[in-house]
Structures are given as structure tokens and as C-alpha cells.
Amino acid sequence: MPDKPTKKNARRKPNTKAKVSRNPSISILKGGIPDWDPADLKFGDTLDFVNETDTDFLIEFWTKQNDKHAPICLLLSAGSTVTIMADPFDHVSGDKAKYSIIRPYQKARRSRRRSGGHSIIIG
């Protein structure tokens, strides 16, 4: 028999407002434009993407060669924050993590719904 809901095991409601970050952060502004580009991230440190708009965005990461993107994206919901971390084990100082900001669910041409060519410099 399942436990009765208590303060410890009760389902939490999702946060619909972006939290104030103590980490360095990239704010996503109107049109999916980041306010810090390129961003710097030290090995093993974290960086927050903060969506300051009322629009959902996807963060699409690209390979080192910048010719393919990963088959999955991070969803950055309207008014939310997502945290990324530099790989503390597999890196070379000066590596760049390339990314694009995409508006999902839009029927317009792909090139019109993308803010690309952004990077995070690791090291």
C-alpha cells in the first residue's frame, strides 16, 4: 500500500518562475538571443541558462567540428532556469561548446526560428 502523502514525499509543483542564480548565468532575451556570448566556464563549474521571456526555447548543442548537433536538446521553458556543467574529466583548455537557441513548435522555416553560432569557452 502506498504511503500517505507527507511533507517529505508529497509531489512538488513545478516552479514557474526563474530562480535567482548564484552561478554565472546566460540570460535568454526576447528572440532567443543570449546576453553573454561567448561565455566562459571553468572545468567542473556550472553555468545557468535563464529564460527571461514568456516563450519556450530549446538549447541545441553541436559537435566540436560544428557540423552536427546532438539528437536531443535541453528544454528551457518560459521563465525557467537550466544548469549545465563543464565535464571535469574530458576536456582541453580552450575547448568551445557551440550551441543554438531554437523556438520549438513553430511552423516557420528552421532558419528563422534559430539563434545560432553561440559558444561557451571551457577552461
Domain CATH code at residue 75 = 2.60.40.420
More confident residue, 17 or 22: 22
Q: Is residue 83 part of a domain?
A: yes
Task: Give the per-residue pLDDT at 49.
Answer: 94
Q: Is residue 13 part of a domain?
A: no
pLDDT at 20 (0 to 100): 47
Range of the domain at 53: 25-122
If we measure between CA atoms, which residue out of 23, 20, 83, 27 comes closest to residue 52? 27
* Rounded average pLDDT over 56-67: 86
Residue 3 lies in a domain: no
For 3, the 3-state DSSP assignment is coil
Number of domains in the chain: 1
Residue 5 lies in a domain: no
The overall pTM is greater than 0.75: no
Measure the CA–CA gap between 16 and 30, rounded to whole angstroms. Answer: 18
At residue 51 the predicted structure's pLDDT band, cuts being 50, 70 and 90, is very high
| Structural element, H or E, at residue 29 | strand 25-29
